[in-house]
Amino acid sequence: MRGLQIFLNHTQQTRLKNAQKTLESLSSKANYDASVAVGDTVPFSYEDGVLKGHGTLDLNGEVVTTICGVVERVNKLIYVRSLRARYKPEIGDIVVGRVTEVAPKRWRLDIHYSQDAVLMLSSMNLPDGIQRRRTAVDELNMRSIFEENDVICAEVRGFQHDGLHLQARSQKYGKLERGQLLTVSPYLVKRRKQHFHHLEQYGIDLILGCNGFIWIGKHVDSTQDTMIEDQVNKIEQKGSKFEGNFGNQMHERVHTPLETRQNICRTANAIRVLSILGFIITVEVIMETVSLSISLNINVHEMLGLEFFVLVAEKEVERRSCRKKRG
């Protein structure tokens, strides 16, 4: 919650400061010491023969930090991991990105990295689902799959000579529609085994991208989507006279109910509040924040009010206190 730029009244400031002090006291001593600012000294033993890495400097026989962040140690290497920095990809990361360019045999995506990522035409499933070699026709039809400003979910494949490459060889990857894209600091989203979440009680899908891009949208059943796509293709091929009626049916299926849209906005506002407060964003914390707003009968637009920020901070204190007691 450092550097929090929201204007609170005196009572709210006192409550928020108390919550912050309690959270710091609940944090483990090791983690608290790991946070460093510019000019801090990193304690270590000379007998270990440590290696000084990124964010450190040898000054008068001491290791001094040159950036703000968290001290990390890998074997003998000591370095500082900057928190508020651009996303650093790792192979296997689940990322959400936005298409910036349709190039020959590839799409370029903005994934909050220092350069655009590349999604090759050969690294994704085609709409027909058939595994085959990509032809010149497939390349001409690339815009029918993804075009500029489309939001896509993919997986980091690795680094090659022309940059960072992604892949989308599963049905869970691909174009994302009927939802909201949020941007948070990448360090708030930890790498976990599961980044795809279906919130059944709200009828929405939640994708926590390792790059800090978070998608909240209407739940999509891949089987149903395939059936609709097949029906559309058949209608286009036959040129049926019932195209108008089918179009109305398609619109009804694509239409997002008001309740689902409200759930999307409520979940998005919960993530915004957690991001501003600087809390780690997990599906459990998001669900607790959404449940808190519902239990207090707080409207969606009121979730960005100052009082709710304080309530979320106090709820986080309660959650961590209970977790520490159980431990």
Domain C-terminal end among 176, 207, 232? 176
CB-facing half-sphere around the CA of 113: CA atoms within 13 A: 25
Domain C-terminal end among 81, 111, 143? 81
Residue 236 lies in a domain: yes
Mean pLDDT of 57-72: 84
pLDDT > 70: percent of the chain: 83
Q: How many domains does the chain have?
A: 3
pLDDT higher than threshold 70 for residue 118: yes
> What pLDDT score does 324 carry?
72
> What pLDDT score does 2 carry?
47
If asked whether residues 184 and 292 sit together in one domain, one would say yes
If asked whether residues 108 and 233 sit together in one domain, one would say no
Q: Are 155 and 166 in contact (CB under 8 A)?
A: yes
Calpha distance 111→189 (Å, rounded):
14
If asked whether residues 60 and 1 sit together in one domain, one would say no
pLDDT higher than threshold 80 for residue 8: no
pLDDT higher than threshold 80 for residue 222: no
Q: pLDDT tens digit string along 130-173?
A: 777 888 888 898 999 999 999 999 999 999 888 899 999 888 89
Residue 77 lies in a domain: yes
If asked whether residues 196 and 231 sit together in one domain, one would say yes
Helix locations, the chain, DSSP H: 10-26, 29-34, 136-140, 142-145, 222-238, 243-254, 258-277, 283-295, 306-326
Calpha distance 14→169 (Å, rounded):
51
If asked whether residues 207 and 316 sit together in one domain, one would say yes
If asked whether residues 191 and 325 sit together in one domain, one would say yes
If asked whether residues 193 and 205 sit together in one domain, one would say yes
If asked whether residues 169 and 281 sit together in one domain, one would say no
Domain C-terminal end among 141, 159, 176? 176
Q: Are 219 and 203 in contact (CB under 8 A)?
A: yes
If asked whether residues 94 and 220 sit together in one domain, one would say no
pLDDT higher than threshold 80 for residue 89: yes
CATH number assigned to the domain comprising residue 58: 2.40.50.100
Please give the residue that has the higher pLDDT: either 324 or 268. Answer: 268
- Predicted structure pTM score: 0.79
Report the Cα 170 to chain-centroid distance in Å.
19
Residue 32 lies in a domain: no
Calpha distance 66→56 (Å, rounded):
6
Contacts for 304 with CB less than 8 Å, ≥ 6 apart: 269, 272, 273
If asked whether residues 319 and 188 sit together in one domain, one would say yes
Mean pLDDT of 161-187: 91
Q: Are 195 and 184 in contact (CB under 8 A)?
A: no
Residue 93 lies in a domain: yes
Q: Are 130 and 122 in contact (CB under 8 A)?
A: no
CATH number assigned to the domain comprising residue 127: 2.40.50.140
Q: pLDDT tens digit string along 294-324?
A: 999 999 999 998 889 999 998 888 888 887 7
Mean pLDDT of 83-97: 88
If asked whether residues 251 and 195 sit together in one domain, one would say yes
Calpha distance 43→235 (Å, rounded):
70
Residue 228 lies in a domain: yes
Residue 117 lies in a domain: yes
Please give the residue that has the higher pLDDT: either 240 or 77. Answer: 77
Contacts for 193 with CB less than 8 Å, ≥ 6 apart: none
Query: Domain of 98?
Result: 86-176
If asked whether residues 325 and 223 sit together in one domain, one would say yes
> What pLDDT score does 253 carry?
55
